[in-house]
Structure 1
Amino acid sequence: MRGSTSAPTVRVLDVLELLARPGNERLRFSDVARELDLTQATAHAILKTLTDRGWVARDPDGKAFSLGPVLAAVAARAEAVRPLSGLALARARELARRTGYPTTIVERVNDTLVISAPETVTDEQFPVFPGDRIPYALPFGVAFAAWDAPEEQSAWIRRSPVTDPVVIDRIDAVLARTRDRGYDIDRATPALARATQLVGTLERDGLPAHVRQIMDQLMAECASIIFLPDDDPANRTHPIATLSAPVFDHRHRVALLLAVNPMRALTAAQLSTLRSELVEAAGEISASAAPDWPAPVSNVR
């Protein structure tokens, strides 16, 4: 939707998203004001309104705030009206249990990718939280762009800081191969993947121009490495950051991505097993929404 945003609304949503982050289930008034850089008056007005309406609950003893009961009702309704997301969440949890790797669901909101459900089964730190936002721009969202219209693919590239013609020339081949095999594979090293995710989720508004320029340059360098030619022998061990497969809706459009995030080296055999499980899961979810849509089938050796 085009047009200006509402700053007061943004601040309210910031409070809810802060309380929704793991580890932030019980924050005090001062914590909320400090974390979001709000004045005491603004923080008080927002928290009081949310508490009065049941979106936030306040512990009368510890004075800590947490998500309220109204959100549970909203979540239940959201699952009913967004069945693909509910199915994807169930499969993400199953994949996490079966593989031992973190899984995520990625949804597109205009020109932004939203991480809606990271799932982990170990205590290993995973640098993604529910509600994290990443720009829908090269190098993020390849599996969305691969099935997008040509003009949207061009816009996806233009929104990125990548200007290297060598990298850009590779993109058509990358998107075509992604469509052919039915999933995207990010071969970045774990360190590079974490750096790229971090830069992608950082808020640029309000930063000095030279800082934004440094961040853009770093993102462009990450993209140039991520999109190196994929010509390694099939039996070589590769570092794999993410495997993501599209889930299609009843209009035959990509509704969301189901992703597994090994963040480590995998053998060819491990990769083959993992991609088969992922593509099968995504295809089954797609079939529930569009039975006439052929599920993506991995045909890459």
Structure 2
Amino acid sequence: MPSTARRVSPPTDRVVAILDFLSARPTERFGVSELARRVGLSKPTCLGIITSLVEACYLVRDSADKTYRLGPSLITLGHRAQEAMRVSPAARDELRRLSTRFGVTAALSAVVDDRITVLDLVSPPGAHPGVEVGQSYPFAPPVGLMFVLWDDLAAQAWLAKEPTIPLRTDTRRLHRVITACRADGYLVERQTPAGRRLYSLMAGMSATLPDELRALLGELVSDIGERVSLREDRQANTRHDISVISAPVFDQHQRQAMVASMHIGTALTERDIAERARAVVATADAVTAQLGGVRPRL
């Protein structure tokens, strides 16, 4: 018998299609005809859906030009979703302090339904961080190392997953990465063109990728942890291209619940990296305390 979890509802899919389309264009407004055409629905079907969404305040209708845009009920819904993911206003304040201090994007992310999902982020005014709240990625090698570094069982389970792309694993290198990051309390990733393309291509995709795309990604990243920049490998008087610095957030069971990250994307000295890493760890520890969490003794 087919699993009920695999059943879909075409009427619901139509509602989701409209909301997804508009959420991808938050500053734009659309009339019924154009909206129906863009999402592939008949005009009467589209009109019926958006009329209900307007009544529930999920959409707003401009009476002057008869166009539609996202409505205020989605704000409440978004806040409730963040609360469900344990992202509180106090956690956002921590991100804001980190972002303001260094002029970077600061984010919280977690593994939700076996996908890495951005829960919240704060960017400097006018910045284009390249990631958005709600954006998700497959949680399978090579993506997701920062979510399992501090938990042996989680790391083993993650490594046992079928990788999203063809990989080789340098066991000695991976062990060295895990040991060094645990000792430091944070993870530093190098900025590479391959890494940027990898996350751009994988955003929103399922873990089962087309063979052609798997082959392409395999040319970009072929070893787990190869983008990790270890302190012992960095020269003190050299600037290093850094993508992200991340630190773990723990729950009351001493399990990793989230990751706090600073998105950098520029060259830093070792002193700069250390300063920012301490700030990211402090942010992660503050969010851990807000959750009533406990950092494990590793």
TM-score normalised per structure 1: 0.80
Q: Is 1:39–2:64 an aligned residue pair?
A: no
**Structure 1 residue aligned with 2:195, among 176, 193, 196?**
193
1:54 equivalent in structure 2: 57
Using the TM superposition, give the Cα deviation of residue 171 of structure 1 relative to its aligned residue in structure 2, in angstroms.
2.8
Identity of aligned residues (%): 23
Q: Is 1:211–2:212 an aligned residue pair?
A: yes
Point out where structure 2 has 5 or more consecutive residues left out of the alignment.
none
**Is contact 1:118-1:130 (8 Å) kept?**
yes
**Is contact 1:182-1:245 (8 Å) kept?**
yes
Q: Is 1:102–2:105 an aligned residue pair?
A: yes
Which has the larger Rg? Answer: 2
Using the TM superposition, give the Cα deviation of residue 2 of structure 1 relative to its aligned residue in structure 2, in angstroms.
9.1
Compare 117-126 and 156-165 and name the one that shifted more. Answer: 156-165
2:70 equivalent in structure 1: 67
Determine helix, strand or coil for the equivalent of 1:226. Answer: coil
Q: For 1:231 and 1:265, locate their aligned partners in 2 and report how far apart those are by CA, in whole Å.
A: 16
Q: For 1:177 and 1:272, locate their aligned partners in 2 and report how far apart those are by CA, in whole Å.
A: 14
Q: For 1:7 and 1:182, locate their aligned partners in 2 and report how far apart those are by CA, in whole Å.
A: 45
Q: For 1:122 and 1:90, locate their aligned partners in 2 and report how far apart those are by CA, in whole Å.
A: 16
Deviations 1:66-94 (A, max 9, x none): 22232233345445555544333221122
Using the TM superposition, give the Cα deviation of residue 260 of structure 1 relative to its aligned residue in structure 2, in angstroms.
0.6
Q: For 1:248 and 1:205, locate their aligned partners in 2 and report how far apart those are by CA, in whole Å.
A: 26
Compare 117-126 and 86-95 and name the one that shifted more. Answer: 117-126
Compare 57-66 and 216-225 and name the one that shifted more. Answer: 216-225
**Structure 2 residue aligned with 1:129, among 111, 132, 143?**
132
**Is contact 1:127-1:194 (8 Å) kept?**
no
Point out where structure 1 has 5 or more consecutive residues left out of the alignment.
none
Q: Over the residues paired in the alignment, what is the CA RMSD in angstroms? A: 3.4
Q: Is 1:144–2:142 an aligned residue pair?
A: no
Question: In structure 2, do the counterparts of structure 1 residues 276 and 131 end up closer, same or farther at CA, with 3 Å as the change threshold?
Answer: same
1:261 equivalent in structure 2: 263
Determine helix, strand or coil for the equivalent of 1:87. Answer: helix
Q: For 2:13 and 2:171, locate their aligned partners in 1 and report how far apart those are by CA, in whole Å.
A: 35
Aligned residues: 292
**Is contact 2:249-2:284 (8 Å) kept?**
yes
